[in-house]
Structure 1
Amino acid sequence: MLYIVATPIGNLEDITLRALRIFREAEFIVAEDTRKTGNLLKHFGISKKSFLSLHKFNERRQIVKIISLLKEEKKVALVSNAGTPLVSDPGERLIKEAYKEGIKITAVPGPCAVINALVLSGFSTRKFLFLGFLQKKRNSRLKELKEAKSTKATLIIFESPFRIKKLLEDLAEVFGGKTKVAILREMTKVYEEIRIGLIEEVRDSLGEKVKGEITVVVENER
Structure 2
Amino acid sequence: MIILAATPIGNLGDASRRLVEALEAATVIAAEDTRITQRLLAGLGVQNRPRLMALHDHNEKERAGDVVALARETDVLVLSDAGMPTVSDPGYSLVAEAASQGVTVTVLPGPSAVVTALAVSGLATDRFTFEGFLPRKAGERRTALEAVAAEPRTMVFFEAPSRIAETLADMASVFGATRRATVCRELTKLHEEVARGTLAELVEWAAGGVRGELVVVVAGAAPRKVAFGDAVTHVLELTRTGVRMKDAAAEVSDLTGHSTRELYQAALAVKNG
TM norm structure 1: 0.96
Q: Which amino acid aligns with 1:62?
A: R
Number of corresponding residues = 221
Helix, strand or coil for the counterpart of 2:148? helix
Displacement of 1:64 in angstroms is: 2.6
Q: Distance in 2 between the 1:219 and 1:99 partners?
A: 35
Residue equivalent to 2:126: 126
Q: Does 1:53 align with 2:54?
A: yes
Q: Which amino acid aligns with 1:153?
A: R
Q: Distance in 2 between the 1:30 and 1:130 partners?
A: 25
TM norm structure 2: 0.78
Residue equivalent to 1:108: 108
Displacement of 1:187 in angstroms is: 0.4
Q: Distance in 2 between the 1:196 and 1:152 partners?
A: 19
Displacement of 1:221 in angstroms is: 4.0
Q: Which amino acid aligns with 2:25?
A: E
Q: Which amino acid aligns with 2:65?
A: V
Residue equivalent to 1:21: 21
Displacement of 1:143 in angstroms is: 2.0
**Which is strand-richer, 1 or 2?**
1
Q: Which runs of 5+ in 2 are unaligned?
A: 223-273
Q: Distance in 2 between the 1:51 and 1:13 partners?
A: 23
Q: Which amino acid aligns with 1:217?
A: V
Runs of 4+ in 1 over 3 A off after TM superposition: none
**Which is helix-richer, 1 or 2?**
2
Q: Which has the higher contact order (CA 8 A, sep 6+)?
A: 1
Q: Distance in 2 between the 1:42 and 1:49 partners?
A: 13
Helix, strand or coil for the counterpart of 2:107? strand
Displacement of 1:207 in angstroms is: 4.8
Residue equivalent to 1:219: 219
**What percentage of residue pairs aligned between the two structures are identical?**
39
Q: Structure 1 159/64 Cα, relative in aligned 2: closer, same or farther at 3 Å?
A: same
**Correspondence list, 1:112-191, <5 A:** 112-191=112-191
Higher CA-based Rg: 2
Q: Distance in 2 between the 1:150 and 1:116 partners?
A: 24
Q: Which runs of 5+ in 1 are unaligned?
A: none
Query: Once structures 1 and 2 are overlaid, which stretch shifts more, 28-37 or 17-26?
Result: 17-26
